[in-house]
Amino acid sequence: MRLLLAPMEGLLDFVLRDVLTRVGGADRCVSEFIRITGSLLPDKVYLRAMPELRNGSRTLAGVPVRAQLLGSDPASMADNAANLARLGPEGIDLNFGCPAKVVNRHGGGASLLQDPEQIARVVAAVRKAVPAQVPVSAKMRLGFNDRLKMIECARAMQDGGACEIVVHARTKLDGYRPPAYWEEIPRLREAVSVPVVANGEIWTVQDALRCREISGCDDLMLGRGIVADPGLALAIRAAVAQGGDAGAATLGWQELVPQVQRFWQMVCEDLEPRQRAGRLKQWLNLMRRRFPEAEAAYQEVRTQTEQRVVSAWVAALPQRDWSKG
User: Is 98 in the active site?
Assistant: yes
Instruction: Tell me yes or no: is domain 3-241 CATH 3.90.550.10.
Output: no
Residue 167 near residue 216 (C-beta atoms within 8 A): no
Q: What is the 3 state secondary structure string of 3-61?
A: EEECCECCCECHHHHHHHHHHCCCCEEEEEEEECCCCCCCHHHHHHHCHHHHHCCECCC
Per-residue pLDDT of the chain (325 residues; tens, 9 = 90+): 999 999 998 899 999 999 999 999 999 999 999 999 889 999 999 999 999 999 999 999 999 999 999 999 999 999 999 999 999 999 999 999 988 877 877 778 999 999 999 999 999 999 999 999 999 999 999 999 999 999 999 999 999 999 999 999 999 999 999 999 999 999 999 999 999 999 999 999 999 999 999 999 999 999 999 999 999 999 999 999 988 776 767 799 999 999 999 999 999 998 899 899 999 999 999 999 999 999 999 999 999 999 999 999 999 999 988 876 6
Q: What is the pLDDT of residue 325?
A: 62
Put residue 298 in one of left, alpha, beta given phi > 0 → left and psi -120 to 50 → alpha: alpha
Tell me, what amino acid is at 86?
R
CA atoms within 13 A on the CB side of 111: 13
Residue 163 to residues 62, 136, 318, Cα–Cα distance (Å): 23, 6, 45
Query: Any idea where the domains of the chain sit in the sequence?
Result: 3-241, 253-324
Which residue in the list 98, 153, 211, 217 is annotated as catalytic?
Answer: 98
Q: What is the pLDDT of residue 100?
A: 81
Q: What is the pLDDT of residue 248?
A: 65
How far apart CA 125 and CA 184 sit, in angstroms, is: 28
Cβ neighbours of residue 267 under 8 Å, at least 6 residues apart? 15, 275, 276, 279, 280
Q: What is the pTM of this model?
A: 0.95
CATH T-level topology, domain 253-324: Bacteriocin As-48; Chain A (1.20.225)
Residue 121 near residue 127 (C-beta atoms within 8 A): no
